Structure formats: C-alpha cells, structure tokens
Structure 1
Amino acid sequence: MEAPEFREFAKSMVDYIADYLENIRDRRVLSDVKPGYLRPLIPDSAPETPESWEDVMKDIERVIMPGVTHWHSPKFHAYFPTANSYPAIVADMLSGAIACIGFSWIASPACTELEVVMLDWLGKMIGLPKEFLACSGGKGGGVIQGTASEATLVALLGAKAKKIEEIKVLHPEWSENTIISKLVGYSSSQAHSSVERAGLLGGVKLRGVAADENNRLRGEALEAAIKKDLEDGLIPFYVSKK
C-alpha cells in the first residue's frame, strides 16, 4: 500500500468507525456466536498475496463483527468502560504512525518526557501528595502500564525488590530465598483475580483479608492481619486495594 491508497483507505475507515459508533446501539451487545466460530470463516494459512482493502472491509462485517461484544454500546453494563473517544482514536492513528518504542529517554525523548509530565497531571488531579510526583524532585513519578493486571504485578515486584534490599541490610546473614519465604502481601478477599495471579508470578505469599458487609477492605482487619503475621515472624511488604 502506497500513500495515495493509504489516504483513501484511511478516509474509508474513519467513515466506518464514525458510522459504527453512531449506530452502535442498534447492534446486539453480546455476541451469540459459539466457540470456534471464526476458524471456518478464514483461511487455514496466512495469505501469501495481499487482499484489497475493500475485501478486508467486507470481512470486518462478515467475520469480525458477529463475534464482537460491543463495550461502547449504551446497553453494555458489564465490566467497566474502556474510555474510548474520537480524540483518542485520532491520537491512536498518530501514535501508530510515529511508532516509537520509549524504553529509554534516548529512544524517544518526547515519548519519555510526555509520559512523566502527564502522569504528574493525573497525580495532581486525584490529589496525590507531592512525594508521588516526578516534579517534586524526589523519587516520585509514574509509568504507564499496558493493563491494570500488569500494573498490579509491576507494583508487587517493585515492593518485593525494595523490601528484599531493606532486609539484607538488617540481616546480612539471611539468603535472598530466606527473605522471600518470609514476605507476605495483603489484598481484600474481594480483590480481582489478577492480584492473586501477581502473587503467584512474584513467588510470594498473598493473604486475602476479609471484607466488610459492603465488600470494603477495612483498616482494622488489615492491621490485625499484619500484627499476626509479624508475631509469626513474617515480613509484610505489600497491600493491594484492587
């Protein structure tokens, strides 16, 4: 695909997206297809020659849309909103065009610095103390993760690494395996399954603390659990509210 065809295809896709979102309430929210519906509708192997974008667009309605759960429908009341918007869609187009990988500052200075600044914006919006912000000049600041589950795991691994280093100073005679065996984290008994999964991937114990009658994690219950674990010689290091 060259630039002239891209311009035509992109304009067609914009029209399709706008029509889709404007008329999404007319679509069935939950797909009624059966598991395995897709395979008979597409080739067994990847095509060796390209198809026209007109044919690809036809396949979107023929193959893809029958198996889509329409999260942005006003009739969708499950899970959580995915925060889509027309500005976000346009921004995705630009992001896809630039296609930088911001794994370090030099890999894309604007990418790295914009992330830092915008997460400070978010921190200020939700009232975080200045110590949590990069602009404080300290160790604060955030990074964007791909999913909430990924963020939970990253937070747990960060807390684990920090606590291990702290305990090594206090008990240089302990091996790292000994320290890890004593670590314990906490979450509500109503927490998302990704919290338990983070504990499994992080190789640490996670304790579910009983929630109250409103399914909330209460400070008194958490305090009691931490106190008992300290008495048992364990090392609390992490609390998840998710």
Structure 2
Amino acid sequence: MTKILITGANKGLGYEAARQLIAAGHTVWIGSRDAERGQRAAAELGTRAVQLDVTDDASVAAAVETLTAAGGLDVLVNNAGIQAEMAADGTVLGAADLTADMMRETFDTNVFGTVRVLHAFLPLLERSAAPVVVNVSSGLASLAWATDPGNHAHGYPGVAYPASKTAVNMLTIQYAKAYPGIRINSVEPGYTKTALNGHHGHQTVEEGAEIIVRMAQLGPDGPTGGYFDRSGELPW
C-alpha cells in the first residue's frame, strides 16, 4: 500500500487530494502547520495526521521521524503555500505595492519550505520502490503564459506568488535531474475555489485536485521533470 504525505492538507486542495487518494486505497498522512486542525481533518477522512510547518526545521525533522517510525514514505506532495499579495476580497497587490517583506514571506513558505521538506524527506523517499514527488505549482508560474497577452496569466498583476511558483518549477527540473530514480513533477491545479484566493476560483476542489491525485499515483515509468495540468504538459 502506497504511503503518501501531503503538506498543507487540513483544507482546500490538499484535503481533497487526500480524500481522493484515500478512496483509491492509499495510506495518506495529513501534514498541517496547526496540529489540532490536522487532527480534525484526519479524523474526518479516517486517516493520520502529522504536525508539519514547512517554515520550521524542527517541525519538519520531527515529521520525518514520525513517518520513518510508521514505515516510511512513497509519495510526497508539496502542497503547502500562501498567496500573501491577494486580499480576502480577491484584490491583488501589483508591482507598485510589492515589498521585500512580502516577497520574503511568500518565498519562505512556497520556495524555502519546499526545499526544506524535500531535503528532509528525500532520504526516506529513496528507500521506496517507486518514489514520487508532486510539487503544486500554478499556471501563473509559466513564463510563456505570463508573456502572452492572450493568456489569462498575462493579466495577473501580482509578483511574489507567480515568482515563487516559477522558482518551484525550477526546483522540479533540477531535483528531477539530480534524482532520476524519483518521479518529480510540477502540477497546475487551475484557478480553484480555496482559502488561498478567498474562494474566488472558478473550479471546484474536486476538479483542482484531479491532477495532483493523478501525478501522485505515477509508476516508475511515468514522466519526471515536467509541468502538467489536467489537459497535459504545460510550457515553462
């Protein structure tokens, strides 16, 4: 039975991906910064929770110990993320309002947090017979889309969030080259109604989680070092 850890899984896309993967017969760990919320989500789903704050070394190290003691890990889904430049009403702060603090806060979770978790869990993943990493990115990370006036990503005014997800895409490429035995890919769930965007997305969480769930179940012959949405491979 495949053992899966999803960070930031007490709500939204992470929660729904966990629900679908549990339904498919996998063992899923709910990673949550807030231990109580994680336990509550796990109880609802009938699974396990582990306290995991991607911005905290000690928290991540403790999560590694917990999963090691419980039998290891086959799939890591780096889902935890923030969109600090978007207000609750859906308003997005643009380049004129960007501050170094906003960029630092965003990168601390979305980029440094992803690296922190990867660095800590890769030794455990390498013990798996079919290890997989899914990095939850965004269509806003595509430089091709951002520079195409005809694409929806072109109209997004924010800087910190898309820049952080573009960095995540580069992490995907470089880690996939460094670890050819692990299937490592970025995914674009689409504009989904979640707390990340104040529930202004046009997709349901069921639709958004589909690509996460699909890529989490890749076999050893699956693609690696790619960037995908539900329709296929995306341009970087």
Larger Rg over CA atoms: 1
Structure 1 and Structure 2 fold alike (TM over 0.5): no
Shorter-chain TM-score bucket reads under 0.3
TM-score normalised per structure 1: 0.23
TM-score normalised per structure 2: 0.24
Higher RCO (Cα < 8 Å, 6 or more apart): 2
